[in-house]
Amino acid sequence: MKTAGTSIEVALSKYLGADDVITPIFEEDEPLRAAPGYRGPQNYLVPLRRWKRNDWMTFLRTRQRPRFHNHMSAARIRQYVAPAVWNTYFKFCVERNPWDKVIS
């Protein structure tokens, strides 16, 4: 369901620095982020020190590294972020208008 997630990611990219996680968005939307000179995808691979047992098993099977991605649940992000960092984050969500949900 569409809730402006990509638009919010593009808008927040303006305020992010070199150490921040910026997840890739849809290929056709990346020009929206690049046009005003905002940072593109960076630091979205989960650091090895944060990998869980399942991450290692998946990597051995598929050679795919765990990564942060758009629309990732807060619970999943929390698994990969240090508690001291997580506790300082401002967390929010966007809920779609209930009427629009019914119509679509």
Q: Match 């209930």 to its residue by tokens.
A: 98
Q: How far apart are CA 76 and CA 80, in angstroms?
A: 7
Q: How far apart are CA 14 and CA 26, in angstroms?
A: 18
State the pTM of this model.
Answer: 0.80
pLDDT in the model for residue 62: 97
Cα distance between the two ends of the chain = 8
Reported as a single tens digit per residue, the pLDDT across 29-87 is 999 999 999 999 999 999 999 999 999 999 999 999 999 998 888 999 999 999 999 99
Q: How far apart are CA 79 and CA 46, in angstroms?
A: 10
Q: How far apart are CA 75 and CA 101, in angstroms?
A: 24
